[in-house]
Amino acid sequence: MLRWSVTFFIIAIIAAIFGFGGIAASAAGIAKVLFFVFVVLFLLSIIFGRRTVD
């Protein structure tokens, strides 16, 4: 998921360089959402992955 976030971020940068403002904003928004979903899932896996069953 982090890879998709980086991919959309790079698309946003390239689109911004070439002057496609709408596409750049959309790609940046998608990258931001995917990054926060990745961070939440990562933190949940750390929290719930440390449980030990006795």
pLDDT tens digits for 23-36?
888 888 888 888 89
Q: How far apart are CA 18 and CA 10, in angstroms?
A: 13
Q: How far apart are CA 2 and CA 38, in angstroms?
A: 6
Global pTM reads 0.65
pLDDT at 13: 85
Are 38 and 1 contacting, i.e. CB atoms less than 8 angstroms apart?
A: yes
Q: What does the domain layout of the chain look like in residue ranges?
A: 2-49
Q: How far apart are CA 24 and CA 18, in angstroms?
A: 9
